[in-house]
């Protein structure tokens, strides 16, 4: 089965490589990337890195590297198609063979088009006379027009076939509307009807801002109050966060996400300037959602009403700290994956009883909300309170001993060292013990919780010629360099190393592709490892323009040398044919003239060519 590049890119974008690798390797954040002990060779200091921006991993110790597919192939010893299937499944992306016959990838692309059309249709309707009721509702909830537009809010008009009629004109088949979850097939007769009728619609968009689902709110007594899109090939519940596409930049720059529950909570937070806010789109936060946030920040603040906070926070902390069922194929087991959440710190901001972010923002405003965020407390300290309290209400030395054990176990599961240290101090004071004691016990438990990673013999990292390596790195990092150098490169043998040449060939075939997506174009493990090593190198400081110029001159020179070699060869052959003494014929004269020009440009090299030995210039080609 040959998978299309678009599909592989989709899967790669949907998989969080930190989360994936984090299931097997204890990763710690180090600047913009993550580090841990290599699962593929034995080592004591971490040289295994994961770069979430480029979606790749690379080990500086053994040189192994690649993308998510490569990691699963190595870790679970899968073939490439098996790795694609495993990752697609966990990312909730349907593969062509699962989409029925002959559909190819067009099924998914058609659904994306249908959702986009629907999003536009509903949004347009909101601002037309038909949308009056929905606009009145927005006004009553205090949602500004500008915010409503940037969230793409829409209105699904009353009537059973409004969207169907619109889509018919757009030549969209009924089956596509049903597959997209926008229409429902009639039970007793042929045909379908609109799923959303008379509702305010909140489009749910993926990170690329493509509409993949809708949440629809009724205005009156309609049941249910919220009606959501069903799962489709584009939308898997629990994999997305509402407004993640809008909030991502702020989350990254503030290194913090605000997590709320409802659509309106989220919209109101944005309206009050809290643009790093996302909503969970469901009652519970899923591992996939937390993993998504962890790609962009180190801290998440969530909001609980004071009444429910203790209970909710404790439950969530339990989820967060649940160890994973290691050894099972991760693609199958996505539950309890919070451990991979690593150092993502989750804090709880308390709101007054009976309030949610929406109502609180409207009563206390931006300043009040900021105060609550500033006072947010680690979710772990809620868990700590719970670990300290005996569930049966017992007191005395025995209860204290079991509390000590529970706290030590809790600390053992906390991935972040600073946070664990702060918690152990807090717990030690409350328990009346020495923090070091707790700390030692926690560390002992931690090492017994950790499963030793599968190890094999380290391979030596592939060594590549430095100049060729620099050239390929430049091509990978700069589209300008690709435009300027890929053409001339084809006419030289400048890149001799097989893996580097494979990367150049892949670039020539898809010069517009993001560097990391070339991973699947490469024929060998070695080439993939070389690519990952080039991608993890920090070459930002290199001035691309200067390097391009240098390589351009280098390539021109080697092109000319090649031409000069060809010319002197041709001269030698012609002379051999006609005899040196014979008068120059036209062909020979042209060759001489051309080679003179080449000599002049090439400078010193002309010397060696004057002797007419076609091979003598080869050694000066450095």
Binding piece for Zn ion, criterion CB under 5 A, among 52-60, 243-251, 296-304, 518-526: 52-60
- CB-based burial label for 240 (10 Å; 0-12, 13-18, 19+): buried
Residue showing tokens 């509390």: 403
* Least gap, CB of 22 to Zn ion (angstroms): 16
CB nearer to Zn ion: give 464 or 547: 464
Which residues, listed in sequence order, are joined to residue 232 by a DSSP beta bridge? 235
* Least gap, CB of 448 to Zn ion (angstroms): 25
CB nearer to Zn ion: give 59 or 134: 59
Q: Which of residues 506-535 bind Zn ion (CB under 5 A)?
A: none
Terminal Cα distance for the chain, rounded: 44
CB nearer to Zn ion: give 41 or 74: 41
Alpha carbons 142 and 11: distance in angstroms, whole number = 39
Q: Is 74 in the site for Zn ion (CB under 5 A)?
A: no
Please report the DSSP string for 72-141 in residue order: HHHHTT--HHHHHHHHHHHHT---GGGS-TT-TTHHHHHHHHHHHHHHHHHHHHHTSGGGHHHHHHHHHH
CB nearer to Zn ion: give 368 or 458: 458
Cβ contacts of residue 33 below 8 Å, gap of 6+? 49, 50, 51, 52, 53, 536
* Least gap, CB of 138 to Zn ion (angstroms): 55
CB nearer to Zn ion: give 24 or 166: 24
Binding piece for Zn ion, criterion CB under 5 A, among 54-62, 245-253, 268-276, 307-315: 54-62
CB nearer to Zn ion: give 22 or 61: 61
- CB-based burial label for 403 (10 Å; 0-12, 13-18, 19+): buried
* Least gap, CB of 458 to Zn ion (angstroms): 6
* Least gap, CB of 25 to Zn ion (angstroms): 10
* Least gap, CB of 58 to Zn ion (angstroms): 9
CB nearer to Zn ion: give 57 or 599: 57
Nearest to 32 by CA among 338, 320, 351, 255: 255
CB nearer to Zn ion: give 74 or 565: 74
CB nearer to Zn ion: give 238 or 458: 458
Is the torsion defined by CA of 350, 351, 355, 356 positive or negative? negative
* Least gap, CB of 66 to Zn ion (angstroms): 12
Q: How many CA atoms lie within 13 A of 553 on its CB side?
A: 8
Alpha carbons 199 and 139: distance in angstroms, whole number = 15
CB nearer to Zn ion: give 44 or 171: 44
Query: Angle at CA 350, nearest 5°, toward 345 and 355?
Result: 135
Alpha carbons 413 and 421: distance in angstroms, whole number = 12
Out of 61, 65, 107, 342, which residue is the one contacting Zn ion (CB under 5 A)? 61
Contact characters 563-592, Zn ion, x per CB under 5 A: ------------------------------
The encoded tokens of residue 328 equal 């099972």
CB nearer to Zn ion: give 64 or 474: 64
* Least gap, CB of 28 to Zn ion (angstroms): 16
3-class state of residue 41 by DSSP:
coil
Out of 11, 62, 407, 534, which residue is the one contacting Zn ion (CB under 5 A)? 62
Angle between helices 397-413 and 435-449 (to 10 degrees): 50
Contact characters 398-417, Zn ion, x per CB under 5 A: --------------------
CB nearer to Zn ion: give 73 or 484: 73
Cα-based distances in Å from 603 to 460, 564, 609, 619, 621: 41, 12, 11, 15, 13
Do residues 174 and 188 make contact, with C-beta atoms less than 8 angstroms apart?
Answer: no
Number of residues that bind Zn ion (CB under 5 A): 6
3-class state of residue 578 by DSSP:
helix
* Least gap, CB of 40 to Zn ion (angstroms): 5
The encoded tokens of residue 222 equal 């309609």
Binding piece for Zn ion, criterion CB under 5 A, among 7-15, 57-65, 308-316, 344-352: 57-65
Out of 56, 59, 93, 414, which residue is the one contacting Zn ion (CB under 5 A)? 59
Alpha carbons 260 and 491: distance in angstroms, whole number = 57
* Least gap, CB of 562 to Zn ion (angstroms): 40
Contact characters 25-44, Zn ion, x per CB under 5 A: -------------x-xx---
Alpha carbons 380 and 345: distance in angstroms, whole number = 9
CB nearer to Zn ion: give 61 or 216: 61
* Least gap, CB of 74 to Zn ion (angstroms): 10
* Least gap, CB of 476 to Zn ion (angstroms): 22
* Least gap, CB of 38 to Zn ion (angstroms): 3
Do residues 55 and 536 make contact, with C-beta atoms less than 8 angstroms apart?
Answer: no
Alpha carbons 304 and 554: distance in angstroms, whole number = 63
Residue showing tokens 């010397």: 607
Which residues of this chain interact with Zn ion, rule CB under 5 A? 38, 40-41, 59, 61-62
């Amino acid at each position: 089965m040959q998978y299309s590049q678009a599909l592989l890119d989709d899967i790669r974008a949907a998989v969080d490589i930190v989360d994936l690798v984090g299931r097997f390797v204890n990763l710690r954040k180090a600047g913009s990337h993550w580090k841990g002990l290599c699962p593929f060779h034995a080592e004591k200091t971490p040289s295994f890195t994961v770069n979430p921006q480029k979606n790749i991993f690379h080990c500086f110790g053994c040189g192994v590297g690649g993308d998510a597919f490569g990691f699963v192939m190595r870790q679970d010893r899968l073939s490439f198609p098996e790795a694609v299937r495993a990752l697609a499944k966990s990312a909730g992306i349907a593969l062509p063979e699962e989409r029925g016959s002959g559909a190819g990838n067009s099924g998914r692309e058609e659904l994306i088009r249908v959702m986009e059309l629907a999003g536009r249709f509903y949004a347009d309707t909101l601002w037309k006379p038909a949308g009056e009721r929905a606009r009145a509702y927005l006004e009553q909830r205090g949602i500004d027009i500008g915010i409503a537009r940037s969230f793409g809010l829409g209105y699904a008009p009353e009537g059973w076939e409004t969207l169907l009629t619109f889509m018919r004109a757009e030549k969209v088949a009924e089956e596509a509307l049903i597959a997209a979850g926008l229409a429902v097939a009639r039970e007793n007769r042929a045909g379908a009807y609109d799923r959303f009728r008379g509702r305010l619609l909140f489009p749910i968009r993926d990170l690329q801002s493509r509409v993949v689902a809708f949440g629809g709110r009724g205005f009156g007594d309609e049941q249910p109050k919220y009606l959501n899109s069903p799962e489709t090939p584009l939308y898997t519940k629990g994999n997305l966060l509402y407004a993640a596409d809008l909030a991502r930049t702020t989350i990254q720059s503030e290194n913090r996400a605000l997590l709320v529950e409802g659509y309106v909570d989220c919209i109101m937070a944005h309206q009050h300037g809290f643009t790093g806010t996302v909503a969970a789109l469901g009652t519970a936060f899923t591992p996939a959602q937390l993993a998504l946030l962890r790609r962009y920040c180190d801290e998440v603040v969530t909001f609980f009403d004071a009444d429910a906070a203790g209970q909710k926070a404790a439950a969530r902390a339990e989820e967060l700290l649940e160890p994973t069922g290691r050894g099972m194929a991760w693609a199958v087991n996505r539950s309890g994956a919070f451990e991979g959440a690593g150092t993502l710190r989750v804090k709880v901001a308390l709101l007054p009883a009976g309030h949610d972010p929406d109502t609180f923002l409207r009563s206390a405003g931006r300043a009040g909300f900021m105060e609550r965020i500033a006072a947010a407390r680690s979710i772990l300290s809620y868990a700590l309170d719970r670990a300290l309290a005996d569930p049966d209400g017992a007191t005395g030395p025995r209860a204290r001993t079991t509390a000590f054990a529970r706290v030590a176990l809790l600390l053992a599961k906390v991935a972040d060292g600073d946070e664990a240290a702060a918690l152990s101090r807090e717990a030690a004071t409350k328990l009346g013990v020495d923090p070091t004691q707790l700390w030692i016990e926690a560390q002992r438990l931690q090492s017994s919780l950790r499963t030793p990673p599968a190890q094999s013999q380290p391979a030596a990292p592939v060594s590549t010629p430095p100049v060729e390596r620099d050239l390929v790195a430049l091509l990978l990092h700069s589209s300008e360099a690709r435009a300027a150098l890929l053409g001339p490169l084809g006419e030289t043998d400048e890149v001799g190393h097989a893996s580097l040449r494979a990367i150049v060939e892949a670039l020539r075939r898809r010069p517009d592709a993001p560097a990391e997506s070339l991973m699947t174009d490469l024929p060998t493990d070695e080439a993939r490892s070389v690519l990952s090593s080039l991608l993890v190198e920090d070459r930002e400081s290199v001035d691309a323009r200067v390097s391009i110029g240098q390589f351009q001159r280098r390539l021109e020179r080697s092109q000319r040398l090649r031409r000069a070699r060809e010319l002197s060869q041709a001269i030698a052959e012609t002379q051999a044919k006609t005899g040196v003494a014979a008068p120059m014929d036209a062909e020979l004269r042209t060759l001489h003239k051309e080679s003179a020009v080449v000599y002049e440009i090439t400078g010193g090299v002309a010397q060696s060519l004057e002797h007419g030995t076609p091979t003598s210039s080869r050694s000066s080609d450095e």
